[in-house]
A = this chain, B = another copy of it.
Amino acid sequence: MRYWILALGLCWALGAQALPLVEKQRFALDSFTTQSGTTLKEVAVGWEAYGTLNADKSNAILITHFFSGSSHAAGKYSDQDPLPGYWDAIIGPGKAIDTDKYYVLSVDTLANANAFDPHVITTGPASLNPATGKPYGLDFPVVSIRDFVNVQKALLDKLGINKLHAVVGASMGSFQALDWAVAYPDKVERMVSVIGAGQMDPWTVYGLERWSDPIKADPAWHNGHYYEQGQPKTGLTKAVAYIIYDATYPDGFNSRYTPPTDAAPKSDIRAGYKSVDELMGHAAIRAHFQDANAILYLVRASQMFLAGYNGKLEDNLAKVSAKTLFMPASHDRLLVPKMARSTYETLKKLGKDSQYQEIDGVWGHLDGLVNIQSQGQVLKDFLDK
């Protein structure tokens, strides 16, 4: 009897909440020309899909991923997989992004930060340059948000998906989502920008620049030629720590790390704080599969971001025909809510159908990932309208 109840509970849980196991697929292009004017051979990226594409291919939702993320937006790779997709809370059967209704797919970006993660497929500075047989390093061309969008579009073309029910992305993913709506307005019906912005400003350019500093300052970086000797681990770990720090907020951060009551730093200038060590340990885990050069390329792609790539934001937003929803996090210190709000206000001024809903929480920028379900109903209603 108890087993039966357990089994029923499990079936309910699976039915209402879990996706079938997901798998990474590979999408390759023989040739891809970047916005910076370089033609790359042998471009390949990974992608995942959840749900079923309907007959007229009109139910696709594209999820565009954030700086440190990948196309693993939802689900598990195996029953024992300890790390489900980052937006499992909102993607799945019956959830805000309902995989019973929508075919949800996501694509690894070029120069993905997690270049050495066995579940990530990306072409970036760590990839072999066909011309030399060695990793590109800094000979890899500058890649842009528009390039990420164009790789995604090539995949959709191959799948015969001519229109997206929606494109939804957080942070750097929001840059891709909004750029989609500007670049291909006839293909995007709805756009959701979570913890996003319409363009960069000097403030954010420098905030991002700082992430590259510890990598470039590490003697093991060797101007990007480190693939034979090994990663500049000290610099990479610090960069990841900066990313974690800048993406959080005091209330959440302080709940996680040890208060500074340490004795040693009070008498030894060379001693450090336990909380700093804890953060470094956390960053080292995250950095394990990451490529230091890829971080430099994603910093640049983000610094360059302007929805529409060239021109002026307002002129570019005039091209948007999608309904849009902006969901910044109230305490975001990295992409401050004002950035999303001003983009939303410009769209409204242009007479567009646009919504604005902040996500509250103690984690700042990170609330766009860990606390998105608090606005799940708003998202669901938007996707249904």
Binding site for B on A (CB under 8 A): 35-37, 138, 140-142, 144, 200-207, 209-210, 213-214, 217-219, 235, 238, 241-242, 245, 250, 253-254, 256-260, 265-270, 272-273, 275-276, 279, 296-297, 300, 303-304, 333, 336, 338
Contacts and interface: CB of A to CB of B under 8 A. Distances in A.
Given A138-B270, A210-B245, A250-B336, 10 more contacts: A36-B267, A141-B267, A142-B265, A201-B259, A206-B241, A213-B217, A214-B217, A217-B218, A269-B297, A273-B303
Contacts of A204: 250
Contacts of A245: 206-207, 210
A254 B206 contact: no
A254 B36 contact: no
Nearest to A36: B267
Nearest to A249: B203
A213 B204 CA distance: 20
A142 B213 contact: no
22 contacts: A140-B269, A142-B266, A144-B266, A201-B254, A201-B260, A202-B254, A202-B256, A202-B259, A202-B260, A203-B257, A205-B260, A206-B257, A206-B276, A206-B279, A209-B273, A213-B238, A217-B217, A217-B218, A250-B336, A265-B303, A265-B304, A269-B296
B205 A275 contact: yes
B209 A276 contact: yes
A146 to B, nearest CB: 10
Nearest to A276: B209
Contacts of A241: 206
A360 B270 CA distance: 38
B202 A300 contact: no
B203 A250 contact: yes
A279 to B, nearest CB: 6
Number of copies: 2
A241 B213 CA distance: 12
A253 B205 CA distance: 11
B242 A210 contact: yes
A250 B214 contact: no
A113 B5 CA distance: 68
Contacts of A275: 202, 205-206
A369 B258 CA distance: 31
A138 B254 contact: no
Nearest to A296: B269
Contacts of A303: 260, 265, 273
Name, among A202, A203, A235, A296, the residue most crowded by chain B CB atoms within 10 Å (CB to CB). Answer: A202
Contacts of A209: 272-273, 276
Name, among A138, A213, A279, the residue most crowded by chain B CB atoms within 10 Å (CB to CB). Answer: A213
A149 B282 CA distance: 37
Contacts of A304: 260, 265-266
Contacts of A297: 269
Contacts of A238: 213
B142 A300 contact: no
B258 A202 contact: yes
Nearest to A250: B203
A259 B200 CA distance: 8
Nearest to A248: B203
A176 to B, nearest CB: 17
B214 A266 contact: no
A48 to B, nearest CB: 29
Contacts of A205: 260, 273, 275-276
